Amino acid sequence: MNNKILISVVGPTAIGKTALGIHIANYFDTEIISADSRQFFKEMCIGTAVPSPKELATAKHHFIQHISIEDQYSVGDFEKEAMAKIHELFQNHNVLVMVGGSGLYVKSITEGLDDFPEIKPEIRQNLNELLEKDGLQKLQEKLKNLDPEYFSKADIENPHRVIRALEICLGTGKTYSSFLNQKKNKRNFNIIEIGLTADRQVIYDRINLRVDLMMQAGLLEEAKKLYPKKHLNALNTVGYKELFSYLDHEIDLDFAVSEIKKNTRRFAKRQLTWFRKNQNIHWFDFKTKPEKINKFISEEINNLN
């Protein structure tokens, strides 16, 4: 396995990762592991920007719409399944491509996850009930008191992250941050990390355009179909929760769309903050020709051999 290569393509939402990943996969005649946690769910399509049927036909993808919004699926489940798939695919390929903007899911493969103890399920259940009853802010305040270190750097707008940190704090009596960055299992394959970026305004313009295109493609109709299941964790995500507020007559449609744009821009900003901490990523402007990036990767592979 020591001569096998995983090429990881990361960057903010709407930057062009899918297209680049396909170019790289075709150049190296290989397959793609998706590490975009929003694209795992088969019922969510337009709002998660899953690759089109044409794109999926151009290069074989794994972990695209492979589970239901009804399923309980964690980053730990993904690490286990994706690592098994990677080892299986390496039997026939020397190079694989992984594409995704979900930082923790990418990290679970490139570095491995931190090792957390088992927590009684009723603790999470209680926290979910508290979220339902009192809202996210109450949980954020609780986390700030129990683990100010993690609170200061966490994505506290993400209820999954907040609940996960709290259940560890409450279940162990220790801070969530004390379990982070412990020694992890080293991967037995090489990893080349590629990042796509652009000026912030360009990223924001691309996001705004993408949301408009999603609305034209039927995002509201998709949200209406999913509305009866809006309580599910998987649907507590940008693009759907704003339209659910519109369907609940809390806001008008124009405001819902502007909120999707604003929240997606915030998400992109958090993605960039996360990925820029990683010194191993080789950054390219989103307009860089794929041929140039493939040439760079080939040179990196030669240097490894």
Third-level CATH fold of 121-179: Histone, subunit A (1.10.20)
Binding site members for ATP:
11-18
Give the start-to-end residue ranges of the domains of the chain. 5-113+184-304, 121-179
Q: Which of 34-43, 78-87, 132-141, 215-224 has the lowest mean pLDDT?
A: 132-141
Mean pLDDT over 93-105 rounds to: 96
Contact 113, 75 (CB under 8 A): yes
- What is the spatial distance between Cα 210 and Cα 202, in angstroms, rounded to a whole number? 12
Mean pLDDT over 253-272 rounds to: 97
Domain 5-113+184-304 matches domain 121-179 at the CATH topology level: no
Contact 155, 161 (CB under 8 A): yes
- What is the spatial distance between Cα 87 and Cα 85, in angstroms, rounded to a whole number? 5
- Smallest CA-to-CA distance from 290 within 28, 14, 4, 39 is with 28
- Smallest CA-to-CA distance from 244 within 223, 264, 272, 261 is with 223
For the chain, the distance separating the N- and C-terminal CA atoms, rounded to the nearest angstrom, is: 13
Give the distance from CA 271 to its chain's centroid: 9
Listed in sequence order, the DSSP H helices in 154-252 are: 159-172, 200-217, 219-226, 241-247
pLDDT digits (tens, 9 = 90+) for 50-80: 999 999 999 999 999 999 999 988 898 999 9
- What is the spatial distance between Cα 155 and Cα 264, in angstroms, rounded to a whole number? 14
Q: How far is CA 161 from CA 14, 105, 130, 165, in A?
A: 23, 13, 15, 6
- Architecture per CATH, domain 5-113+184-304, reads as 3-Layer(aba) Sandwich (3.40)
Q: How many helices (H) and strands (E) does the chain have?
A: 13, 6
Could you say which DSSP state residue 67 is in? B
pLDDT digits (tens, 9 = 90+) for 229-250: 999 989 999 999 999 999 999 9
Binding site members for substrate:
13-18
Task: Evaluate if residue 185 carries a pLDDT over 90.
Answer: no
Binding site members:
11-18
